[in-house]
Amino acid sequence: MKHWFLPLIAGLLAALPIAAVAAPVDRAGLVAKLCGDAGQMGEAGTALASIAATGDDADRTWAAALPRAAIDRKLACDEAGAVLTEGGLDAVTRAPREAQGTPRSPLLSLKNRPVFELADAAFALRTAPNAGQRAAALKILERRPALIPEGLLERAAQAEADAGLKAQIENLAQSAALNASDPAARIRAIGRVAENTNRRTLTQLTALKNDPAYGADAGFRQAVDAGISRVERGIAIGDVMATLYNGLSFASILFMAAIGLAIIFGLMGVINLAQGELIMIGAYVTWLVQQGLRSVAPGLLDWYLILAIPAAFLVTAAIGIALEAALLRHLYKRPLMSLLATWAVSLFLVNLVRVIFGTQNLQFETPFYVTGGVPVIGDFIFTWNRMFAILFAVVTLALTWLVVRKTPLGLNIRAVTQNRDMAACIGIPTRRVDMMAFGLGSGLAGLAGLALSPIYSVNPQMGQNFIIDSFMVVVLGGVGTIAGTVVAALGIGQINVLIEPLWGAVAAKVIVLLMIIGFLQWRPEGLFAVKGRRK
C-alpha cells in the first residue's frame, strides 16, 4: 500500500503546476471585459498577453484575433456579448451570428493601446506561420521588454525553427528577464546578459543601479556590479582590438597606395604626382568591369572584384608606360620639370574623368564576401571588407616581392637602381627597364584603387587623399625598399588610427608629419636605406 501510494501523491503534486498553467480561460468574462470600461479593457489586454505566454493551443487560437480586433475597432459589443465584425463570428463561441440591437465598438485609451499591441505581437510571435511575420512581432516586443509576460519568449524560442530568429528571441528573453518578479531569476539574467559585452548591455546594467533592489538586496547589487565590470572589461578589450584592426586595414591601404610610388621613385627619382590619379583610374576600371558584367553576365556580378584585377593592373600600367615614353623620358635630368609635368598629368586625368563620368560618387555592388562581419568582443566587429583589403595587400606584397627578387625584370630593376651606368655597361637595356618599372608602379596603383573601391567613396578626387600619405610612407621607409614601405605603412597607419579619436583627422596628419620630420633629422635615409643608389 505504502509503495504505490507515495508515487501517486508525487505524481499529483508534480501535475499541479501544469494544471495551473493550463487552467481554462473564462472566455465569456474576458469578452465582457473587452466591452467594459478603460480599466476592464486594460485587465483584458493583460490577460490576453498572459494567454499568449502560457495558454494552451486551443485558448491561443481562440484569443489570437481579439487584440487586433480591439485595435482596429472590429469588435461589435451588443446585448449577447460581442461579435468579430470581420467574419461575422461570435467573439466567445465563434459561431456565425449578426450583432444585435445597436452594437458599439470599444475605443482603446492611450494607456491601453500599448498593452493590446504587445498582446497582438505576442500572439503573432507564437502563432504566425511566416518567419518574417514573427520577426516583425519580435521588433514590437523589443520596444517594451518590461511589459513582456514571463515565459513568452522562452516558449517562443523553444518552438522557433529559424536559427537566426531563435537567437534574437533568446537575446530579448535575457533582457526581459532583468525585469522578472523573481529576484533569483533577475540575478541569473544579469549573468547571462553580461556575456554580451557591448555598450548596449552596459547601458542596460547601469540602469539597474536605479532599481530599488540594488539598494535593498546585497546579492542583486553584487551581481549588477560584477556584470558591469565584466562588460567594461570586454568593451575595453574590444576597443583595443578594433583600433589594431582598423590600423592594420588603413596600413594595408597605405601600402597599396605607396608601393607603386616606391618603385618609381626608387628607380628613377621621379616624384610622380599623378600616382593618386592612377589609383583613381584603377577604381574606375573596377566599376566599368562591374557594369560590363551586369550587362553581359549578371550571374558573375558578385565576382567583379576578382575579375577586375587584371583589367585594373593592365590599364593603369599601360597609362604609366605611355606617360613615361611620351613625357617623362625627356625630363629625367630636370627633376623640377618632371614634378610639374606629373602634376599637369594629374590635373588632366582628374578633369578627363569629370567630363566622362561626372563628379558624383560611383555606386558599387557589395559582393557577399565583403558584406557584414563577425562580432568578436565588446563593440569590435571583424568586418569582411577591411579583411579583403588586408588580404589583397598581403597578396600584392608577395607578388611584388617575387617580381623584384625572382624575375629577370626585378634583377634588372635592382641593377639599374644601384648603378645605372654599370648596368648599361653590362648590356642591361636601361631605357626599357625604366619604362617597365614605371608601368609596374602604375599597375600597382591601379590595384590599390581596386582594393579601395569596397571601402571608400570613388570619385575623381579620391586619389588626392592618398598622395601625401603615400609620399610620407615612401620617405619614412627609405626610398625604393619594399620592406621599408611595409614597416612605414604599418607605423603611420597605426599611429593615425590611435591619434584620430583624440584630436581629429587633421591634427593626426599634422602630428604624424612632425614625427616623420623629426625622425628624418636623425635618419635622413629612412628606415631601410638602399646601398649604392643610382647617381
Picking from 266, 445, 440, the residue whose alpha carbon sits closest to that of residue 346 is 445
Identify whether residues 199 and 342 lie together within a single domain: no
Confirm if 55 and 25 have CB atoms less than 8 A apart: yes
User: Is 316 within the bounds of a domain?
Assistant: yes
Is the predicted pLDDT of residue 17 greater than 50, yes or no? no
Q: How many domains does the chain have?
A: 2
Identify whether residues 177 and 298 lie together within a single domain: no
Identify whether residues 323 and 255 lie together within a single domain: yes
pLDDT in tens, 304-319: 999 999 999 999 999 9
Q: Which position has the higher pLDDT, 482 or 303?
A: 303
Is the predicted pLDDT of residue 14 greater than 50, yes or no? no
Q: Secondary structure of 354-395 in the HEC alphabet?
A: HHHHCCCCCCCCCCHHHCCEEEEECCEEEEHHHHHHHHHHHH
CA–CA gap between residue 327 and residue 318 (Å, rounded): 14
Cβ within 8 Å of residue 314, ≥6 positions away = 443
Q: Which position has the higher pLDDT, 460 or 181?
A: 460
**Average pLDDT over the chain, rounded to an integer:** 84
User: Is 14 within the bounds of a domain?
Assistant: no
Identify whether residues 216 and 305 lie together within a single domain: no
Q: β-strand 75-78 against 81-84: which pairing, if any?
A: antiparallel
Question: What pLDDT score was predicted for residue 531?
Answer: 56
E-strand ranges in 20-123 read 75-78, 81-84, 89-90
Q: Give 112: exposed, middle or buried? Use CB within 10 Å, 0-12, 13-18, 19+.
A: buried
User: Is 21 within the bounds of a domain?
Assistant: no
Identify whether residues 136 and 270 lie together within a single domain: no
pLDDT in tens, 59-80: 888 898 899 999 988 889 988 8
263: containing domain = 249-357+403-522
Whole-angstrom distance between the N-terminal and C-terminal Cα of the chain?
111
User: Is 174 within the bounds of a domain?
Assistant: yes
pLDDT in tens, 256-286: 888 888 888 776 777 888 888 999 999 999 9
Identify whether residues 479 and 423 lie together within a single domain: yes
CA distances from 41 to 24, 61, 65, 116, 143 (A): 20, 20, 15, 9, 21
Confirm if 145 and 179 have CB atoms less than 8 A apart: yes
* Most confidently modeled range among 15-29, 171-185, 214-228, 515-529: 214-228
Q: Which three cell numbers stand for residue 110?
A: 492611450
User: Is 529 within the bounds of a domain?
Assistant: no
- Span 504-527, average pLDDT: 80
Question: What pLDDT score was predicted for residue 22?
Answer: 52
pLDDT band at 288 (very low <50, low <70, confident <90, very high): very high
User: Is 243 within the bounds of a domain?
Assistant: no
CA–CA gap between residue 236 and residue 255 (Å, rounded): 28
Q: Which position has the higher pLDDT, 200 or 48?
A: 48
Confirm if 283 and 452 have CB atoms less than 8 A apart: yes
Q: Which three cell numbers stand for residue 17?
A: 503546476
CA–CA gap between residue 75 and residue 69 (Å, rounded): 6
* Most confidently modeled range among 24-28, 67-71, 187-191: 67-71
Cβ within 8 Å of residue 368, ≥6 positions away = 302
User: Is 106 within the bounds of a domain?
Assistant: yes
pTM of the model: 0.68
pLDDT in tens, 457-486: 888 988 887 888 888 888 888 766 778 888
Question: What pLDDT score was predicted for residue 356?
Answer: 92
Q: What is the share, in percent, of the chain residues with pLDDT greater than 70?
A: 94
- Span 34-57, average pLDDT: 88
Q: Which position has the higher pLDDT, 357 or 332?
A: 357
| DSSP 8-state code for residue 83 | E
